[in-house]
Amino acid sequence: MKNLMNITDLAVEEIDELVAVAEDIIANPVKYRDKCRYKKLATLFFEPSTRTRLSFEAAMLELGGSVLGFSEANSSSAVKGESVADTARTVSCYADIIAMRHPKEGAPLVASMAASVPIINAGDGGHNHPTQTLTDLLTIKREKGRLNNLTIGFCGDLKFGRTVHSLIEAMARYTGIRVVLISPDELKLPGYLKKETLDAKGIEYLETTDLSAVMPELDILYMTRVQRERFFNEEDYLRLKDSYILTPAKLENAKSDLAILHPLPRVNEIHTSVDSDPRACYFRQVLNGKFIRMALILKLLEVE
């Protein structure tokens, strides 16, 4: 049995294969519509979600399977004091595969040690979000035609943004990658990622507070929301929340083939007038999230 806790649980070859399967699903949807007949996916979400939970459910439904689960901790026995391990062991009796989101870093890992079916980390606190990363990689592949030789700018909350952490861990394993980290001083990328991922893999990176200054260099601009729920006080959030607001004017000196990604939800960091720019990929990215999760479910359930 295989779980997905961290994007580095997958070899680069396995990621490339998932991307290829997702592209085949897009090209030949009918071929896949009964692949998971009689299989059940449980979504255990202890934290809010729109895209991640619904895309997992849509993915399983499109594979001919069924879904069950809960979308908030308050409607589960967690409020009675049940441990994540006991919940996972219980749900293993009902489902063939589990996607779990939790506000505590490491909770899905604890669940995976108690479960008897594969567990997918659907976001654990400010730590990791590997299936968003698979979504991002499929999007980059489809938009740019490659996953190497790219300059990627990450902008916004690089401290608490788990999607940033996982995508950096993934991109660091491709060749010709340059990383530009754009954030306020208080929301810089955690030191462990700089040391254990960027430095360890010899990835060239630059830290700056100035988005406009680096805009012309970027092939990908990965915008993120300031993660309000991870702040210790509201004043800091209010001071930092509008640090970066992408507008058409700010894109004037950007490359004509820039790809703008955002895991969503967006708050203020991309003005809605950017949405009609062909370089805005974030709603195409949403759709890719369903296809790559279909590919992942097939892999973890070992469906041919």
Which positions are annotated as active-site residues? 51-52, 80, 101, 129
Q: Does 133 bind ligand NCD (CB under 6 A)?
A: no
The answer to whether 73 touches 46, Cβ cutoff 8 Å, is yes
Among 3, 43, 52, 121, which residue interacts with ligand NCD (rule: CB under 6 A)? 52
Angle (CA) 280-286-281 rounded to 5° is: 15
Could you say whether residue 264 binds ligand NCD (CB under 6 A)? yes
Based on the shown chain and the rule CB under 6 A, indicate whether residue 127 belongs to the binding site for ligand NCD: no
CA atoms within 13 A on the CB side of 78: 18
Q: Is residue 263 a contact residue for ligand NCD (CB under 6 A)?
A: yes
Task: Mark residues 176-215: x for contact with ligand NCD by CB under 6 A, - for none.
Answer: ----------------------------------------
Contact 122, 69 (CB under 8 A): no
User: Is residue 129 part of the contact set for ligand NCD (CB under 6 A)?
Assistant: yes
Closest CA to 15 of 171, 163, 200: 171
Element (H, E) at 102: strand 97-102
Sheet with 119-124: strands ordered across: 66-70, 40-45, 97-102, 119-124
Which residue lies nearer to ligand NCD by CB, 52 or 288? 52
Residue 162 interacting with ligand NCD (CB under 6 A): yes
15-23, 209-217, 259-267, 268-276 -> range binding ligand NCD (CB under 6 A): 259-267
CB atoms within 10 A of CB 202: 7
Write out the two tokens for 195.
């040391």
Least distance CB 286 / ligand NCD (angstroms)? 8
Interacting residues with ligand NCD (CB under 6 A): 51-52, 123, 129, 132, 162-163, 225, 263-265
